[in-house]
């Protein structure tokens, strides 16, 4: 199959007609499809090639696809996590196909933000921001309540969908981690640094991910930092540690966020601004939990 777009795929006992590609996620592609009754779905498919001996040719792609299915089976259903209708794996001679069939979400938070930035005020209303934040925190709280806690590690505006009921749904779980630890040995630091580089977005990385020599525990608290980055993106249209060229300033990340970095004139409350500083505290243990943020 490779990178060619199929006209249809058999998922379980039904055939899904592919209407077109609507996105990428990790090593997979996301398609919009419909069943014989005309109902819309989203279908995430990852094709992993196999060599002549049947061995997987891209271990990272296979690991990511398998991890996402495992995580979703543990955490679904939840009103703020994508609704999974079917998932599985099909082995063929020259490839392995991983698929996740999910409810089609007609809108995205990124699209909502883009439209708001075109308006005369150029700002997303605070009420909209807080509703997005509430649903996002609800999803993260569910992940963090697992044993052991699940760190999403890829929270960003692009991974927030909006379903037909207007609820925000978190997606893309292939970067999740259940391993929470600090690093001291040079080899461990090098391996962890490479994994962080491959599986996380630079603009959303927490200080303990940027500099593993700090000795902080790298845990689900990285998601709280990312909530702060997301909040800043929703409010001001950019992540907080980008320069004018869009390059991420790692030294600035290490210092944490202060409200005096904000523009002098903006329409947001002191409460929203305080959340930015709370979430983007450079000390992981000092960041609030999802439950604490939801109670504010």
Nearest to 42 by CA among 183, 138, 169: 169
Continuous segment of H or E residues that includes residue 272: helix 270-279
Q: Which residues of 206-231 are buried (b: 16+ CB within 10 A; e: fewer)?
A: bbbbbbbebebebbbbbbbbbbbbbb
Return d(Cα 50, Cα 92) in angstroms, integer: 9
**Are the beta carbons of 87 and 9 closer than 8 angstroms?**
no
User: What is the rounded CA–CA span in Å between residue 241 and residue 288?
Assistant: 21
In DSSP terms, 46 is beta-bridged to 98
Task: Provide φ and ψ at 253, rounded to 5°.
Answer: -60, -45
Is 233 annotated in some ligand binding site?
Answer: no
Based on its alpha-carbon atoms, the radius of gyration of the chain, rounded to whole angstroms, reads 20
Long-range contacts of 39-42 (CB under 8 A, 24+ apart): 40/104, 41/16, 41/85, 41/101, 41/102, 41/103, 41/104, 42/101, 42/102, 42/103, 42/104, 42/105
> Binding site: what residues are annotated?
44
> Binding site for ATP: what residues are annotated?
44
């Amino acid at each position: 199959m490779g990178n060619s777009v199929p006209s249809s795929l058999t998922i379980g006992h039904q055939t899904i007609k592919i209407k077109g590609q609507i996105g990428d996620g990790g090593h997979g592609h996301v398609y919009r499809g419909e069943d014989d009754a005309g109902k819309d779905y989203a279908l995430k498919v990852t094709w992993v090639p196999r060599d002549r001996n049947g061995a997987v040719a891209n271990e990272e792609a296979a690991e990511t696809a398998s991890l996402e299915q495992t995580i979703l089976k543990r955490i679904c259903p939840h009103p703020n996590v994508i609704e999974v209708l079917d998932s599985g794996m099909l082995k063929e001679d020259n490839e392995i196909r991983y698929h996740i069939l999910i409810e089609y979400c007609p809108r995205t938070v990124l699209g909502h933000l883009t439209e708001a930035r075109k308006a005369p005020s150029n700002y997303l209303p605070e009420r909209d921001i807080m509703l997005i934040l509430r649903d996002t925190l609800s999803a993260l709280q569910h992940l963090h309540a697992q044993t052991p806690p699940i760190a999403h590690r890829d929270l960003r505006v692009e991974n927030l969908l909006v379903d037909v009921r207007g609820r925000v749904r978190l997606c893309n779980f292939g970067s999740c981690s259940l391993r929470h630890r600090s690093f001291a040995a040079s080899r461990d630091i090098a391996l962890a640094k490479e994994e962080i580089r491959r599986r996380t977005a630079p603009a959303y990385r927490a200080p303990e991910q940027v500099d593993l020599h700090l000795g902080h525990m790298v845990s689900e608290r990285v998601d709280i930092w990312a909530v702060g980055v997301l909040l800043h993106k929703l409010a001001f249209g950019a992540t907080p540690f980008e320069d004018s060229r869009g390059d991420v300033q790692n030294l600035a990340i290490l210092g944490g966020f202060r409200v005096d970095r904000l523009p002098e004139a903006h329409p947001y409350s002191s409460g929203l601004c305080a959340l930015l500083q709370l979430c983007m505290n450079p000390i992981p243990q000092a960041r609030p939990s999802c439950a604490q943020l939801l109670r504010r």
